[in-house]
A and B are shown apart, each in its own frame.
Chain A
Amino acid sequence: MAAESQETLEEMLVELKDTSELMIDLAYSALLLQSKDLARELLELEEYFDGLHTRFELAVIGRKGNSIDEKGVLGLIRLGFAAETISDAAAEIAKIVLLEIPTHPVLRMAVTEAEDIVEMSHVREGSILDGKTLKELALEDKIGMKIIAIRRGLKWTYNPRESTVIHAGDLLVASGYAEGGEPFKRLASGELREI
């Protein structure tokens, strides 16, 4: 808890918003790709989100009267609650996949916007991504996939910088063309040895 308490209320709010928005994208992709892996990952993200939300609420209450007035406290609490509703709704969409509800092709057609997808993959030991910066890899130029988030341990980073170094064990979230999904996953797993 010590490390977590250093997080400011502002940082937590930014993270709540970013996480809820990422969850929407992941939910639609899980549905589109009929991916149970993606759906399970989303449910884990929802648990993480719940923890973050609780820490955020405690921080808001802790700051009451100190630097935020009553209206401010209420506004922040409501904002957190709305983000939580979005996160829950995204998880519900993922559960459609996990419960093996037969999905009508209409459902998959409706959630795909052009050919954009979101994919997640762990970077395995021996992957050529390990130890490289996003700039060096230039995945967007080469396979049309942009890294939009990275999870390292319990910490999520959204819209990582070009200078960010990828490590084995990282969970990468990438968005881009459907055709880029397979090469992206095979690069992360170490199967594909060059970009």
Chain B
Amino acid sequence: MKLILLDEERAETVMEFRPVRYRPMSVRGALKEMKKLSSLMVDLAYSSVLYRDHDLAEEVLELGDMADHLSYLLLMNASLVARDKRDAEQIAGILKAASSIHKMAGAARDIAMVELQGLSFHPSVQEAFKKVEERLVRTTIQPSSILDGRRIGDLKLEVSIGVDIIAVRRGKTWHVAPRADFKLVKGDIVHARGSDVGVGLFDRLGRGELKEVP
């Protein structure tokens, strides 16, 4: 599949597809993961448009591929569970919820495409959002950062600077809504949410410019 971009100077992006093969996983785990993924995608997608962030929009598409993959694994594993009419009724609810959640992920992808296709709108729109929105920030943890090697829970960022870490990308792996015992390491790309001031401080912590949590 090709993404045709309206801006001609931008090269066409060719997407790669990873074949889906059955892998045993709990239906609960798959559904929970899909819910987390789609919520993160909606969050990042709106931000990518409002802040004209092209890279962020591309990350949304990447997360979308993960959601597609996961939706197949969920279908496969759920199909193996149903044995009688009662099971079928219960599985129907799960599959319906999963398909609605998948639809939200698709909508997030459409939002990100608005940015990727260069359908930018009037600056007044961005201004309107800046007034009411908390900001999202994306920071790469530098080797000199004090965040390297620290557990999220120990940093208490939410209390000290009002910043919440919503996702961490490590290479090709995404950790959505990481738990308190999740340890950050250098090279991690951290997505965080908070006030203008808070995300500014967090960014400086990640870059290694700020040597302690205020």
Residues of A that sit less than 8 Å from B by CB: 8-11, 13-14, 17, 20-21, 24, 27-28, 31, 67-68, 71-76, 78-79, 81-83, 85-86, 88-90, 92-93, 96, 101-104, 106-107, 109-111, 113, 159
Contact = CB atoms under 8 A, between A and B. Distances in A.
Interface string B122-143: 1011011100100000000000
B107 A83 contact: yes
Residue from A71, A72, A88, A113 having most chain B Cβ neighbours under 10 A: A71
A79 B49 CA distance: 9
A90 B101 CA distance: 8
B157 interface: no
A21 B114 CA distance: 18
B150 interface: no
B173 to A, nearest CB: 20
B110 interface: yes
29 contacts: A8-B128, A9-B125, A10-B124, A10-B127, A14-B132, A21-B42, A68-B121, A68-B122, A71-B118, A71-B120, A75-B114, A76-B125, A79-B111, A79-B114, A82-B45, A82-B107, A85-B103, A86-B107, A89-B103, A90-B104, A96-B93, A96-B97, A102-B93, A106-B27, A107-B94, A110-B32, A110-B35, A111-B35, A111-B97
A84 B129 CA distance: 19
Given A10-B124, A76-B121, A107 B104 contact: no
A92 B100 contact: yes
B108 interface: yes
Interface of B: 6, 26-28, 31-32, 35-36, 39, 42, 45-46, 49, 86, 89-94, 96-97, 100-101, 103-104, 106-108, 110-111, 113-114, 118-122, 124-125, 127-129, 132, 177
A24 B124 CA distance: 27
Instruction: Name B's interface SS.
Output: helix
Contacts of B110: 78, 81-82, 85
Nearest to B38: A24
Given A20-B42, A107-B93, 10 more contacts: A68-B122, A72-B119, A75-B114, A75-B121, A82-B108, A82-B111, A82-B114, A85-B103, A92-B103, A102-B89
B35 A88 contact: no
Contacts of A89: 100-101, 103-104, 107
B140 to A, nearest CB: 26
B28 to A, nearest CB: 4
Contacts of B27: 106, 110
A92 B99 CA distance: 9
Nearest to A21: B42
A109 B121 CA distance: 41
Contacts of A75: 49, 114, 119-121
